[in-house]
Amino acid sequence: MSVLLITETNFPVGLFLGQSRDFDYLMRLVETHPLTMAIPEFCLREARSSLRERLRKGREGLIESRRLLRDIGRSEYARERVEAATYLLIELEELLQARIESVSETLDMMADISAVIPHSPAVHVRGRLRHIGGLPPFKETDCEIFECILDFLRVNHNEYDASIFLCLDQEDFDHDEIRYDLAETDTRLSFSTGECIAIVRRELRM
């Protein structure tokens, strides 16, 4: 059995942030089993930008907190605690800076073991038309991502015994029209890593 697993922006974000062991588990399955992970190039770029911005804002918040503590630390009663807190904040700032610098490394690692689906002018136009037509997932960037995924599936799904779209954005993608489009290529839609793992294990007869 060979299985195709398509993911979107939330997967690399969750993997980098360590939001669940399920992300790491799925990556290990990709490396050790006949499981192919595919992700749109658009999603990798979106994840890179989102992660860096989130970490940058967090670091700026820590810097601002140190400025506030500096004023409080002028008072004798708080000086010792302020010094301890400042030390911890500096450590956190350095940690976040290191994480910012490791975003590209993590995403490049994911890209190296995945099939990266290229963005194209045709996909851009179809996504734009989908958005203008008021079809789910409605948001313009999500429409482009979904059209990119559909384009890849139409060409490649017959090479696999099963295909799954793991979408961690249920709010925007939980629509009958989405399911109908995916059903044309016999692709299942999953909204959780736990459910996805269960499907993969079943298909791989693990």
pLDDT digits (tens, 9 = 90+) for 30-64: 999 999 999 999 999 999 999 999 999 999 999 99
The rounded distance, in Å, linking the Cα atoms of 200 and 206 is 9
Q: Give the per-residue pLDDT at 78.
A: 86
**Dihedral class, residue 166 (left if φ above 0, else alpha if ψ from -120 to 50, else beta):** beta
Q: What one-character DSSP code corresponds to residue 40?
A: E
The rounded distance, in Å, linking the Cα atoms of 201 and 206 is 5
Query: What are the structural domain ranges in the chain?
Result: 3-48+102-203
Q: List Cβ neighbours of 63 (8 Å cut-off, separation of 6 or more).
A: 93
Q: What is the mean pLDDT of residues 172-178?
A: 97
**What one-character-per-residue DSSP string does 152-202 give?**
HHHHHGGGSSEEEEE-S-HHHH--HHHHHHHHTTTEEEES-HHHHHHHHHH
Q: Give the per-residue pLDDT at 162.
A: 97
pLDDT per residue as tens digits for the range 73-130? 888 888 899 999 999 999 999 999 999 999 999 999 999 999 999 999 999 999 999 9
Give the percent of the chain with pLDDT over 90: 93
Composition of the chain by helix, strand, coil, percent to 5: 70, 10, 20
In order of 7, 72, 85, 94, 133, the CA distances from 67 in angstroms are 41, 9, 12, 16, 49
> pTM for this one?
0.91
Give the percent of the chain with pLDDT over 70: 100
Which parts of 3-146 are beta strand (E)? 3-7, 35-40, 115-117
Q: Give the per-residue pLDDT at 1.
A: 84
Q: List Cβ neighbours of 164 (8 Å cut-off, separation of 6 or more).
A: 3, 4, 5, 6, 187, 188, 189, 190, 196, 199, 200
Please state which CATH class domain 3-48+102-203 belongs to.
Answer: alpha beta
Q: Which residue has the tokens 């017959």?
A: 158
